[in-house]
Amino acid sequence: MNDPKIIIALDYAEAAPALALADRLQPSQCRLKVGKELFTATGPALLEQLMKRGFEIFLDLKFHDIPNTTAQACKAAASLGVWMVNVHALGGRKMLEAAREAVANSAHQPKLIAVTMLTSMAQEDLADIGIAATPAEMVLRLATLARDSGLDGVVCSAQEAAMLRQRCGSEFCLVTPGIRPAQASLDDQSRVMTPQAALQAGSSYLVIGRPITKAADPLQALLAINQEIVGARFIAP
Ligand SMILES: O=C(O)c1cc(=O)[nH]c(=O)n1[C@@H]1O[C@H](COP(=O)(O)O)[C@@H](O)[C@H]1O
């Protein structure tokens, strides 16, 4: 089966623009991400409409709570039939293991991944919350915890992908937001990389929102990025 590398972040306030964009796209070109804003506004009904069109969905709700609450939320998310769900690795080992068990016991089992350190954050943001580690140290620590807790992979910046690909193995799923084509606006992202460089660094999937959704022609923007990454593969450092 074709395995599109781009996951478009449908960061919209309502269903209509999300469905209008989906209607211009093919499931062979990309997967779609529904996050907090759109899911809070529309609920599971929109997921059904997107899945009916053949798209695989990353439900990005970044659960972070006590183990039981997180596990029940993951169970509920799995029952929606989505392709991928996520939690925050900062919730700790017990929470990660509870989430993993909840997904493993579900009839439908989405990929379960953990957010390490948000791509909007830089060294000084870690200092603000009392963490003395560098972003690379922090991401490696949380990714190792996620892997040891049995998760399928992590969300990280592509700047950490090469390190994690070497330390966590070829099967570990590295989902990288903070992707910006050369010359594109960074918006609120901090740790960024271009699409091709991200795949060469070892990313499994690229999460891309505004560079596509805010483009004058989102379909053309997606096609241009897909063209740029044809044949791009991990290049071991
Ligand atoms: O979990 C995520 O998807 C995520 C994690 C992270 O560390 N950084 C990050 O930007 N994201 C999401 O990825 C998308 C990036 O969107 P753009 O910055 O518009 O490309 C947004 O929907 C974010 O919520």
How much is the mean pLDDT over the chain? 97
Looking at residue 146, its amino acid is A
Q: Residue 71 has what pLDDT?
A: 98
* CB-based contacts of 27, cutoff 8 Å, min separation 6: 4, 53, 54, 55, 56
Residue 88's pLDDT band (cuts 50, 70, 90):
very high
Q: Residue 4 has what pLDDT?
A: 97
Token readout for 183 is: 């010359």
Mutate to test the pocket of ligand 1, among 39, 58, 90, 207 (most ligand atoms within 8 A of CB): 207
Phi/psi-derived region of residue 196, left when phi > 0, alpha when psi is between -120 and 50, beta in every other case: alpha
60 as an active site residue: the answer is yes
Question: CA–CA distance from 160 to each of 13, 87, 174, 192 (Å)?
Answer: 31, 19, 9, 10
Q: What value does the mean pLDDT take over residues 130-150?
A: 97
DSSP secondary structure of 142-153: HHHHHHHTT-SE
The answer to whether residue 1 scores a pLDDT higher than 60 is no
Q: Are 205 and 173 in contact (CB under 8 A)?
A: yes
Ligand 1 pocket residue status of 152, Cβ below 6 Å: no
Looking at residue 131, its amino acid is I
Q: Which numbered atom of ligand 1 lies nearest the CA of 116? A: 7
62 as an active site residue: the answer is yes
The answer to whether residue 87 scores a pLDDT higher than 90 is yes
Minimal-distance CA residue to ligand 1 atom 11:
177
pTM score of the predicted model = 0.97
Task: Please give the ipTM for the structure prediction.
Answer: 0.98
Residue 2's pLDDT band (cuts 50, 70, 90):
confident
Ligand 1 pocket residue status of 38, Cβ below 6 Å: no
6-44 pLDDT, tens digit per residue, is 999 999 999 999 999 999 999 999 999 999 999 999 999
44-69 pLDDT, tens digit per residue, is 999 999 999 999 999 999 999 999 99
98-123 pLDDT, tens digit per residue, is 999 999 999 999 999 999 999 999 99
DSSP state of 172: S
163-212 pLDDT, tens digit per residue, is 999 999 999 999 999 999 988 999 999 999 999 999 999 999 999 999 99
Span from the CA of 106 to the centroid of ligand 1 (angstroms)? 26
Minimal-distance CA residue to ligand 1 atom 9:
177
